[in-house]
């Protein structure tokens, strides 16, 4: 839970909406696996592509050790970040969510720090992080083909001719419209169970991505567009990276 809270906090409040796994960053951009014993969780990219950072995420329960101080969770997270010397980033961000028992009057909180690191990242790495972030989204919805395309830095087409997605009537959002994961046979019990779960899920929740984001990826632009809303309400949960969830019993409207 703390991992997810920290992830959203860095996206929504610190303006680093593009987040990728640290090991993916190493393998995709430096061609090698990092072998250190303690590594950061994520590499993050500023909304305007001006800064790259590393994020170490921690969680804390109300009855465990302290967060601040030389032996606290934040210092431990910072030590992990400082131990990474060979990869160039602008910011180091240790972050810790403390979960308190609200029935006993506790107030949960997020603790973090932002440390400058003088460095000049390699050319074009921001665009690659941008693509890798969305590769994770496509992997989430089961579209491994597009995910691998984004990871390999190959060209990218829009989704207009892709039967896996449906552009809404306003021409703003591509919705995932059917199970994308492919099985060897529809008689496979795994497929049958997955299809049932997906149909049950999709009657209540739809997952989408704004067309302007897809267009930006296709053009190879060096920063994300912001011509899409980021406010949420009872029907739409909109995220700062241009992905969206629609919630409701009838998603055919």
Q: For the segment 3-51, what is each residue's pLDDT rounded down to a tens digit?
A: 899 999 999 999 999 999 998 888 877 777 777 667 889 999 999 899 9
The token pair at 220 is 């190879």
Q: What is the pLDDT of residue 116?
A: 92
Mean pLDDT to the nearest integer, 204-228? 84
Q: What is the pLDDT of residue 154?
A: 76
* pLDDT surpasses 90 at 251: no
- pTM (predicted TM-score): 0.83
Tokens 């050319």 correspond to: 123
- Specify which of 53-67, 68-82, 164-178, 214-228 reaches the highest per-range mean pLDDT: 164-178
Q: Which residue has the higher pLDDT, 67 or 184?
A: 67
Mean pLDDT to the nearest integer, 60-69? 64
If you count them, how many residues does the chain have? 253
Q: How confident is the model at residue 253 (pLDDT cuts 50, 70, 90)?
A: very low
Q: Alpha helix (H) ranges present in the chain?
A: 2-12, 22-30, 73-82, 125-140, 144-152, 189-202, 211-219
DSSP label at residue 156: -
- Specify which of 103-107, 155-159, 220-224, 240-244 reaches the highest per-range mean pLDDT: 240-244
Burial (0-12, 13-18, 19+ Cβ within 10 Å), 245: middle
Of 212, 216, 219, give the one whose Cα is nearest residue 155.
Answer: 219
* pLDDT surpasses 50 at 219: yes
* pLDDT surpasses 80 at 200: no
Q: What is the pLDDT of residue 252?
A: 45
Q: How confident is the model at residue 191 (pLDDT cuts 50, 70, 90)?
A: low
* pLDDT surpasses 50 at 165: yes
Write out pLDDT tens, residues 76-129. Answer: 888 888 888 778 889 999 998 888 777 776 778 888 999 998 887 777 888 889
* pLDDT surpasses 70 at 218: yes
Mean pLDDT to the nearest integer, 163-182? 84
Query: Which residues share a beta bridge with 57?
Result: 95
Percent of the chain with pLDDT over 90: 35
Of 180, 249, 236, give the one whose Cα is nearest residue 208.
Answer: 236
């Amino acid at each position: 839970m703390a991992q997810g809270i920290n992830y959203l906090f860095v996206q929504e409040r610190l303006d680093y909406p593009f987040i990728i796994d640290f090991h993916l960053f190493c393998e995709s951009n430096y061609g090698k696996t990092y072998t250190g014993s303690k590594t950061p969780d994520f590499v993050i990219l500023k909304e305007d592509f001006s800064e790259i950072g590393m994020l170490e995420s921690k969680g804390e329960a109300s009855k465990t050790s302290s967060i601040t101080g030389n032996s606290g969770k934040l210092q431990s997270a910072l030590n992990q970040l400082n131990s990474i010397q060979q990869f160039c980033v602008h910011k180091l961000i240790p972050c810790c969510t403390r979960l308190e028992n609200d029935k006993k009057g506790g107030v949960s909180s997020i603790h973090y720090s932002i440390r400058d690191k003088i460095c000049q990242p390699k050319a074009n790495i921001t665009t690659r992080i941008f693509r890798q972030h969305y590769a994770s989204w496509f992997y989430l919805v089961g579209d491994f083909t597009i995910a691998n395309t984004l990871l390999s830095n190959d060209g990218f087409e829009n989704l207009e001719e892709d039967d896996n997605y449906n552009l809404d009537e306003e021409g703003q959002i591509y919705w995932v419209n059917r199970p994308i994961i492919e099985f060897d046979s529809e008689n496979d019990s795994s497929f049958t169970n997955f299809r049932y779960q997906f149909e049950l899920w999709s009657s209540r929740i739809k997952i989408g991505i704004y067309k302007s984001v897809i267009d930006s990826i296709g053009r190879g632009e060096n920063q994300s567009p912001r011509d899409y809303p980021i406010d949420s309400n009872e029907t739409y949960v909109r995220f700062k990276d241009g992905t969206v969830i629609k919630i409701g019993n009838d998603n055919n409207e």
